[in-house]
Amino acid sequence: MKQLITLTFFLLNLCAFAQKPCEYSANVKDSIGTYKVTNEYMISEKNFGGTFDYLFFSLAQTDGLPTLNLQLIQKSNTFIKANCFDKNSKIFLQLENGKIVTLIHIDKENCGTFIQGEKGSDNRITTGIFMFLKDNFEELKNSPISIMRVKYLTNTEDYIVKRELVSELTKKTYKPNTYFIDNIRCVE
């Protein structure tokens, strides 16, 4: 009887802690090198006064170098201020354990792409690629995120990272604060 209880307990723990498989939007290996990137994942959604901001993350690995891809999508019926990335841009992640992790933008300026939408709406898509610092990489595996600060070229924005986000756009439920805990293994 003890063996049956032990076996049941073991199987339940195994199922509870099993990691779901990594899903990639691109996974290429050829003579030039390797590249893989995870599917985009919503981290923040703001809807205020007819202005919509959506922030997505994806993790990439290029020839063994892991990076974080950030995509900011803005939509409004009024003027959209450009949030540019440059060589001094950074992402600061405050973890629930009190530590702060810094990611550094690659040395490439990007102010996004402006797209005229239907019915007079304006859209801007801005992307940035950020590199991990070696000693901070391990911290992200062990503690959820509580606050994120993005330093753009001309301003800084803070985001409260929620435990659960039910998106009005996609109608899906996301768990942004454990994004790295759940996905960083996909680019190691």
Supply the pLDDT for residue 7.
Answer: 41
Decide: helix, strand or coil at residue 75. strand
Domain extent listing, the chain: 23-187
Task: Indicate whether 4 pLDDT > 80.
Answer: no
Residues 108-161 have pLDDT tens digits of 899 999 888 777 788 999 999 999 987 788 899 999 999 999 999 989 999 999
Supply the pLDDT for residue 20.
Answer: 76
Supply the pLDDT for residue 8.
Answer: 45
Which residue(s) pair with 157 in the sheet?
Answer: 150
Give the pTM: 0.84
Residues 5-45 have pLDDT tens digits of 444 444 444 344 456 789 999 888 888 888 999 999 999 99
Side-chain half-sphere CA neighbours of 16 within 13 A:
6
Q: Which two tokens mark 153?
A: 């070229």
Helix (H) or strand (E) holding 181: helix 179-183
Per the CB < 8 A criterion, the answer to whether 164 and 174 are in contact is yes
Supply the pLDDT for residue 19.
Answer: 62
